[in-house]
Amino acid sequence: MRKLTLILALSFFLYGCPRTSQYVRPGLPAPPDWPASSAAGAGAPGAPAAGDLKWREYFTDQRLQSVIELALGNNRDLRAATLNVERVQALYRIQRAELYPTVVASASADAYRVPRTLSGADDNETVAQLTVGLGMASWELDLFGRIRSLKSAALEQYLATEQARSAAQISLIAAVANSYLALAADREDLKLAQETLAAQQASYELILRIREAGMTSDLELRQAQSAVDAARVDIARYSGQLVVDENALNLLAGAPVTSNLLADDLSNVGDLKEIAPGLPSDLLLRRPDILAAEHQLKAANANINAARAAFFPRVALTAAAGVTSNDLTNLFKPAAGTWNFAPQVVLPIFDSGARRAGYAVATVDRDIAVAEYEKAIQAAFREVSDALSLRITLTEQQQALQSLIDTLQETYRLSEARYTGGIDSYLNVLVAQRSVYARQQQMVGLRLARLSNLVALYKVLGGGV
């Protein structure tokens, strides 16, 4: 023990005490406020932050909630992310266990024969030895914080994985909502195409009867027929797209979504809540991907401390106590007691620069983690700015387009009246009808874009789970 103390004292004299690198959060690599164009879409005053809302409070449509629940229970990507959290948690427990000694129970029997030529006895001699005891495996005294630093790194890795799972869940919720809305929009487009086909078919049959009476030309008949064929093309296109949409939604849900959970059109999907974006610095506390990047940065910082501690001696203790005897009757008598204690100090002297290289690797890994952390913040800032900028313009577009549709519908009514009165040709009616149909399709796409923008805001602002 005196030699062990002398070696440790010499180590402290030569190397000094290791200086632990304290974690300091990097500065915010983004402006302190949202751009003026983005702030205009910041939502209603007093609106809650996205992170304060559970997804059920944001997506209020009960059918959509049922589909999201189905996805949360069956989506394989989310299941893999959850299992990965459990795996990293087990790895953390393994690393933490190295702080404590390992005690094992053992029992052994050893018998061997000694020839008389070696033993000097008159006959061959058989020697038996029985041993029972408790032993402590090699336990490193963490005097310089190497194991504690590795434990901290493992803990931060676990926390990062937890945040990655939360980010995966938010992304899944947003993906399910977007897929659900896209399916509802295509169903609405299909219904609009079917209604247009019915109107075009009625016009075509009317013109056909007039043509048979010799009161109109083949040109107007062909124009009416072309409108019917165009509507049929749209019906076939949207019918095929519905199958694709349903397959995509089933994949996200991880199970077939029954038809009673699907919306017939976007008007049957409840509107989403207003949310406030807060300040750019709020993203540091809201976005799971940013929190995961910060935990990775903390893990890299802990690895630096572990690499620094590798320059200092390692002190390990091994001990055992028990009883031993050459026969079973004497095994547990007081005189059969035995013990051993074997401290060990490993003092690094020369390793061809391996430890310095390991420290350099840990330092570079920390710098990479800083860059990834700052990149995550900058990407989040851009995503939120884009979503906020689109928010106000989409509302303005929808209002203007609705006014245009109202005007075109009146134009179509007047054109039809003039054609019926024999003032204009059917071409004017056809042009007006196509204009109304095209703008109605555009309105469906615009309403879908507005709802998808609200879903995007929930996602990029780190919506609650």
Which of 459, 382, 456 has the alpha carbon at shortest distance from 31?
Answer: 382
HEC string for the chain: CHHHHHHHHHHHHHHCCCCCCCCCCCCCCCCCCCCHHHHCCCCCCCCCEHHHCCHHHHCCCHHHHHHHHHHHHHCHHHHHHHHHHHHHHHHHHHHHHCCCCCEEEEEEEEEEEECHHHHCCCCCEEEEEEEEEEEEEEEEECCCCHHHHHHHHHHHHHHHHHHHHHHHHHHHHHHHHHHHHHHHHHHHHHHHHHHHHHHHHHHHHHHHHHHHCCCCCHHHHHHHHHHHHHHHHHHHHHHHHHHHHHHHHHHHHCCCCCHHHCCCCHHHCCCCCCCECCCHHHHHHHCHHHHHHHHHHHHHHHHHHHHHHCCCCEEEEEEEEEEEECCHHHCCCHHHEEEEEEEEEECCCCCCCHHHHHHHHHHHHHHHHHHHHHHHHHHHHHHHHHHHHHHHHHHHHHHHHHHHHHHHHHHHHHHHHHHHCCCCCHHHHHHHHHHHHHHHHHHHHHHHHHHHHHHHHHHHCCCCC
User: Rounded to whole angstroms, how far apart are CA atoms 196 and 44?
Assistant: 38
Q: What is the dihedral of CA 161, 164, 170, 175, to 10 degrees?
A: -120
The per-residue pLDDT string of the chain (465 residues; one tens digit each, 9 = 90 and over) reads 565 565 555 555 555 555 667 888 888 888 877 776 665 555 555 677 777 788 888 888 899 999 999 999 999 999 999 999 999 999 888 888 888 888 878 787 777 666 766 655 566 566 667 777 777 677 777 778 888 888 999 999 999 999 999 999 999 999 999 999 999 999 999 999 998 888 888 877 877 877 777 766 777 778 788 888 888 999 999 999 999 999 999 999 999 999 999 988 888 887 777 777 777 777 777 889 999 999 999 999 998 988 888 888 787 878 887 778 777 666 677 777 777 777 777 777 788 888 889 889 999 999 999 999 999 999 988 888 888 888 888 888 989 999 999 999 898 888 888 877 777 777 787 888 888 888 999 999 999 999 999 899 889 888 877
Quote the pLDDT of residue 461.
86
User: What is this structure's pTM?
Assistant: 0.84
Token pair belonging to 69: 């629940």
Residues 81/170, Cβ–Cβ less than 8 Å: no
Q: In what order do the strands lie in the sheet with 314-325?
A: 103-114, 125-141, 314-325, 337-346
Quote the pLDDT of residue 37.
62
Which of 98, 424, 124, 55 has the alpha carbon at shortest distance from 272?
Answer: 55
Architecture of domain 101-141+316-347: Single Sheet (2.20)
Quote the pLDDT of residue 299.
93
User: Rounded to whole angstroms, how far apart are CA atoms 421 and 414?
Assistant: 10
Quote the pLDDT of residue 100.
82
Buried b (16+ CB within 10 A) or exposed e, 221-230: bebbbebbeb
Domain limits, the chain? 21-99+144-312+353-460, 101-141+316-347
Token pair belonging to 119: 């033993």
Quote the pLDDT of residue 105.
82
Quote the pLDDT of residue 175.
94
For 21-99+144-312+353-460, which CATH class?
mainly alpha
